[in-house]
Amino acid sequence: MLSLRFFKPSDEQSLVRYLNNPVTVRYLSPKVPFPYTAADAQWWINTGSREGITRAIILDGVLIGCIGARPGTFEYCRSAEVGYWLAEEYWGQGITGRALDLLIAEVAATTEMVRLEAVVFEQNTRSARVLEKAGFEFEGMRRKAIYKDGELFDARLFGKVFE
C-alpha cells in the first residue's frame, strides 16, 4: 500500500542510502548535498522537511522517496512548486505518479492553492511523463536555467491549475 507521511528519525538510514546513489540524485537540485551524510538526513528530518507540504513516500511501511509542494510568496502565494524523488529500485512501477496524485489531493483539500508547477531537467523524460499523466501541461522551456556540477541545463516548466 502506498501512502504519504511526515518524516521521522527512523528514516535517517534510508535517506543516507538512497541519496548517495548518483542515479537517484542525478536530476535533483544541488540543494540536496552529495555525498549525503547522516547529519544531512537529521537536518532534513528535523528542519528541511517541515517547510511547505513535504512528505515521505511510503510503500508497505517502507520509506522509498520524498514528495512535496513548496508554496510561493507574495504575488505567488496561491501557487506551489512540486518536487519529488524516488529510490532507483522503485522506478518504473507507477509509484511516483500515484504519490503525486495523493499530494495533489492533499494540496487541493487543505490549502488555497490554485496552481502547482514543476521544473524538470530537459533530459529527465521520466519525470516529464509523470507530470503529464497527473494532468500537468508543458508550459515552456527555460534555457540554461539550471546550474549543477559545473554544467548548465535547460529546464522544462509544467503547470497544473485547479478548476
Query: Ramachandran region of residue 46, left (φ > 0), alpha (ψ -120 to 50) or beta?
Result: alpha
pLDDT digits (tens, 9 = 90+) for 89-135: 999 999 999 999 999 999 999 999 999 999 999 999 999 999 999 99
* Contact by Cβ (8 Å): 135, 160: yes
Which CATH superfamily, name and number, covers 2-117?
Answer: Gcn5-related N-acetyltransferase (GNAT) (3.40.630.30)
d(CA 94, CA 116): 20
**Strands 62-71 and 115-121, sheet pairing:** unpaired
- Name the 3-class secondary structure at 86: strand
Domain ranges of the chain: 2-117
Tell me the pTM: 0.96
Residues 138-148, mean pLDDT to the nearest whole number: 97
Is residue 21 classed exposed, middle or buried when 0-12, 13-18 and 19+ CB atoms within 10 A define those classes? middle
pLDDT digits (tens, 9 = 90+) for 7-28: 999 999 999 999 999 999 999 9
Residue 130's pLDDT is: 98
